[in-house]
Structure 1
Amino acid sequence: MNKEIIAKRYALALFQIATEKQLLDQLEEEIRAVWQVFAENDKFLSLLTYPKLSLEKKKALIKETFAAVSSPLRNTLLLLLERHRIDIVPQLAEQFIHLVNEARGVAEATAYSARPLTEEEKRALSDVFAKKMGKTTLHIENIVDPSLIGGVKLRIGNRIYDGSISGKLERIQRQLIG
């Protein structure tokens, strides 16, 4: 079965538990931290999937590493470990955050700009584009890309809104060349 489908099932179960126990904000923060641990430490996942290391030692490693996280998340990680699915943690985190955002009417967006955007500029982008997407707000991550020359390119899901100068120049060039 596809990792995305499996991750979505675990994420949905964790989301339901978080909703029932009113731990949504806490679990979202914790799962982002767990995701970061897995993303930044390839050797950690390698260790957890190493066949010669006993399951008990792997469980102890999870319990020790994630001692500060809430029990629903820690138990989910232990369950994934037992079922040999610990490698889906990044996908699970992504799916969980997506579910939380959907419940809140929030969308994740990436804004590419020639210079860092101010909080006011991010808020203005969020206000304008959230309405277009039918959301209440956007969480905007700003990535500085000097090749844009000026303006902003905004990616929300699989949609890209290109208001950059380099994008406009490319469109003009295509029109002139035909």
Structure 2
Amino acid sequence: MKLDNQTVARRYGKALFDVSLEKNTREQLSLELSELKKFLHNVPQFKDFISSNAIKPDAKTEMMKTLTKDTSDLLTNLLNMLYDYKRLTNLEDIINEFDRLNDEFEKTVRASVTTAIKLDEDQKKRLESSFANVVGANKVIFNQKIDESIIGGVILKSESYIYDGSIKSKIERIKRLLLK
């Protein structure tokens, strides 16, 4: 029975996270996976190259040697195993699952913050601190978006929380009340 991508990512990501905890390499592995994810984004042809039947196995083996040259034993083993089982196309999803489990372990929340203007560092830190208190996190990592159409205020979205304090939404609420 062939497993779907989500199941593969969950299983491998969980196994990778558990082993990194056992070997006390979680933080280092997280940094390596972050770099690997950047590589996957910067070289989108990698997936096509590694999964193509037109590319000779020797060329793929050389690519794998280059890719694993400076990686930890755990990451090297993962990459080689994924290559052997023809699951390297699932690598980004596996990294995402590892990151999700790592965030859960560290009580880190990733959220998007939308504002009409760019936040300075002080504003960003205060907002992160306030949001961390609201969601019960140790740390908040914001992905900031600028959207002038919200006029002012802030919109915060995480996996389990949405707060819309934008001027635009307040104006919309007032319009609805007036039209009743």
CA deviation profile, 1:137-165 (whole Å, cap 9, x unmatched)? 21112122222221111111153211112
Name the residue aligned to 2:150: 148
1:131 equivalent in alignment to 2:153 = no
Name the residue aligned to 2:172: 170
- When residues 53 and 166 of structure 1 are mapped into structure 2, their CA distance, relative to the original with a 3 A threshold, is same
1:15 equivalent in alignment to 2:17 = yes
Alpha carbons 2:68, 2:79 under 8 Å: kept: no
- When residues 133 and 52 of structure 1 are mapped into structure 2, their CA distance, relative to the original with a 3 A threshold, is same
Name the residue aligned to 1:72: 74
Name the residue aligned to 1:46: 48
Describe how 1:16-35 pairs up with structure 2 within 5 A.
16-35=18-37
CA deviation profile, 1:37-93 (whole Å, cap 9, x unmatched)? 222322111001101223443232123134232221122122112111111112111
SS of the aligned residue for 2:137 comes to coil
Partners of 1:58 and 1:176 in 2: how far apart?
Answer: 65
Name the residue aligned to 1:161: 163
Alpha carbons 1:110, 1:156 under 8 Å: kept: yes
The range that moved more, 85-94 or 158-167, is 158-167
SS of the aligned residue for 1:108 comes to strand
Using the TM superposition, give the Cα deviation of residue 176 of structure 1 relative to its aligned residue in structure 2, in angstroms.
3.1
Amino acid of the residue matched to residue 5 of structure 2? K
Name the residue aligned to 1:105: 107
Partners of 2:106 and 2:51 in 1: how far apart?
Answer: 35
Name the residue aligned to 1:85: 87
Amino acid of the residue matched to residue 27 of structure 1? L
Partners of 1:10 and 1:56 in 2: how far apart?
Answer: 26
SS of the aligned residue for 1:52 comes to coil
Task: Say how many residue pairs are matched.
Answer: 178
Partners of 1:66 and 1:113 in 2: how far apart?
Answer: 41
- When residues 88 and 176 of structure 1 are mapped into structure 2, their CA distance, relative to the original with a 3 A threshold, is farther
TM-score, normalised via structure 1 length: 0.89
Using the TM superposition, give the Cα deviation of residue 171 of structure 1 relative to its aligned residue in structure 2, in angstroms.
2.6
Gaps of at least 5 residues in structure 1 are: none
Partners of 2:131 and 2:176 in 1: how far apart?
Answer: 27
- When residues 118 and 22 of structure 1 are mapped into structure 2, their CA distance, relative to the original with a 3 A threshold, is farther
Name the residue aligned to 1:58: 60
Alpha carbons 1:59, 1:81 under 8 Å: kept: no
Gaps of at least 5 residues in structure 2 are: none
Amino acid of the residue matched to residue 136 of structure 2? G
TM-score, normalised via structure 2 length: 0.88
- When residues 164 and 30 of structure 1 are mapped into structure 2, their CA distance, relative to the original with a 3 A threshold, is same
- 1:122 aligned to 121, 124, 128, which one? 124
